[in-house]
Amino acid sequence: MTANPKATDAINRRLRLGMVGGGPGAGIAETHRTAMRLDDRYAIVAGVFSRDREKSLTAAKKLHIPEDRIYSDYLAMAEAESARKDNRIDAVVIVTQTASHYEIARRFLETGINVVCDKPLCLKLAEAKELKRLVEKNGLIFCLTHSYSGYAMVRHAARMVKGVRWTKSLGARLHAYFVLRANIRLIATSGLFDHDWYLERNADVPTALEIWERNERPITEHTQRMSYFLGLPTTWHPLLRTMALAWAGRSKWLVRQRTKTALHRPTGTAP
């Protein structure tokens, strides 16, 4: 079998990455960049770090990226990078708000660029299926990052699942499954999760997980919508942003929506 020259080339050098999102003050993007530096196998060479051009350029300067590789938006970036003859990015890293993940990822996949996307993937199952279709159609790589996989607690949970026997208590098995499902907002490990309460109603672990996710999905989607809505003012003129945030603080309805997630008690948690 003949080796793919591009794949061989990528193995022998740092992977060239583009980044969408991650401008000044973006915490999760800095986490990604720190991990890249620790591995020393990646180099960010292009990007659009903010809707605000000046903020994007500020981020680029800090990362030592030339101005001609900083784009006005992700559409321009996908088109330009896919057309490059040399030093084209190997993949794009998406670290924007969840609501925008699908459109950005779709565009890069359509132009033949591999994608690394921060979790969660997107807001709708249909969107996830469409991204999967594009990956398979174009023979690309799509990586969804779940940083929890590096946590000592999660690694311990993985060992629990690997070594568990079906004769062991359902409580221990369910606990391990829940910890491993990084997208489920859980508090099982804090001691607040009432295993007996939950298992009395759902003795089968996979079924229990499906019921849990179905019950918690509405609050998850509400949280994502509010995150997107409250993030919009960050792109506005400072005066308009100040007025909007002042109104938001006085709106009883909006305060209730903002605190709904914090006050929510997940299914099966002890009172």
The domains of the chain, with CATH numbers, are 5-145 (3.40.50.720), 150-263 (no CATH)
**pLDDT score for 81:** 96
- For the stretch 155-184, pLDDT in tens is 666 666 565 444 344 444 444 444 444 333
- For the stretch 24-37, pLDDT in tens is 877 788 888 887 88
> Is the pTM here over 0.95, yes or no?
no
Q: Which two tokens stand for residue 230?
A: 């409250």
- For the stretch 220-269, pLDDT in tens is 788 878 877 777 777 788 888 888 878 877 888 888 887 887 777 766 55
- For the stretch 127-146, pLDDT in tens is 999 999 999 999 999 998 87
Dihedral sign, CA of 76, 82, 87, 89?
positive
- For the stretch 53-97, pLDDT in tens is 899 999 999 889 999 999 999 999 999 999 998 899 999 999 998
**pLDDT score for 222:** 82
By the 8 A CB rule, do 43 and 16 touch?
Answer: yes
